[in-house]
Structure 1
Amino acid sequence: MDIQAEKLFLIEELVRTDDIKLIEKIKALLTNKSNPILGYNVKGELITRSQLVKQIEEAEARMDGGEFTSQEDLEKQSENW
C-alpha cells in the first residue's frame, strides 16, 4: 500500500471509532516527537521519555536517602512468607 492509501485507511478508522483511549494514544504518538512515548504502565497509560527520566531521578534520590530494602533484608522477609 502506498502512503496515501495508508493515510486514508487511518482516517477512515478514526472516523469510525468511539474509543477515546485509542484516539488519545494516537494523538500522543503524533504530537510527542521531542518527548516520545517509550511504553505503557500497568494501567495502560502512556509513559513518555520525560516521565521515565523523572521516575528514575526520584528513585535514585530515594536510594541516596536510604529509602530502599537490601537483598539481604528481602531474603529474611521472604523466609516468613
Structure 2
Amino acid sequence: MGAIELRNKIIELLNTDNVSYLEDIFEFAEKKKQPSSKSDTIAYTVQGKPLTQEAYVKQIKDADASINAGEFISVEDLEEEIRNWQ
C-alpha cells in the first residue's frame, strides 16, 4: 500500500463524530511523534513484567554472554532429558 492510499484510508477512519475515538487517535499520533524515552516500556517478559529499552538490551546482552560461555543445552540433550522424565 502506497503512502497516498494509506493516507486516504486514514482520512476515511477519521471521518467520524466520535470524539472519544478521535481523542484516542490524536493521543496515539502525538506519542508516535515524540522520541521514546529510555524509561518507556518496549517489551514484556513472559511473566508479564514490563521492560524498558535499557533493561531489554541488558537481557539480550546477558543472554548472548551466557550462550558464548556455553551455558545452553542442545536440542539433542534436551530430547534425551525429556525421554528420561518418563
TM-score normalized by the length of structure 2? 0.51
Q: Give runs of ≥4 in structure 1 deviating > 6 Å.
A: none
| Alignment RMSD (CA, Å) | 2.4
| Aligned mate of 1:34, from 30, 34, 37 | 37
Partner Cα separation in structure 2 for residue 39 and residue 53 of structure 1: 10
Pairs aligned (count): 54
Shift of 1:80: 1.2
SS class of match (1:80) = helix
| Aligned mate of 1:46, from 50, 57, 73 | 50
Question: Larger Rg: 1 or 2?
Answer: 2
The amino acid of 2:62's aligned partner reads E
Partner Cα separation in structure 1 for residue 80 and residue 60 of structure 2: 27
What is the match of residue 18 of structure 1? none
Aligned 8 A contact 2:41 2:52 in 1 = yes
What is the match of residue 61 of structure 2? 57
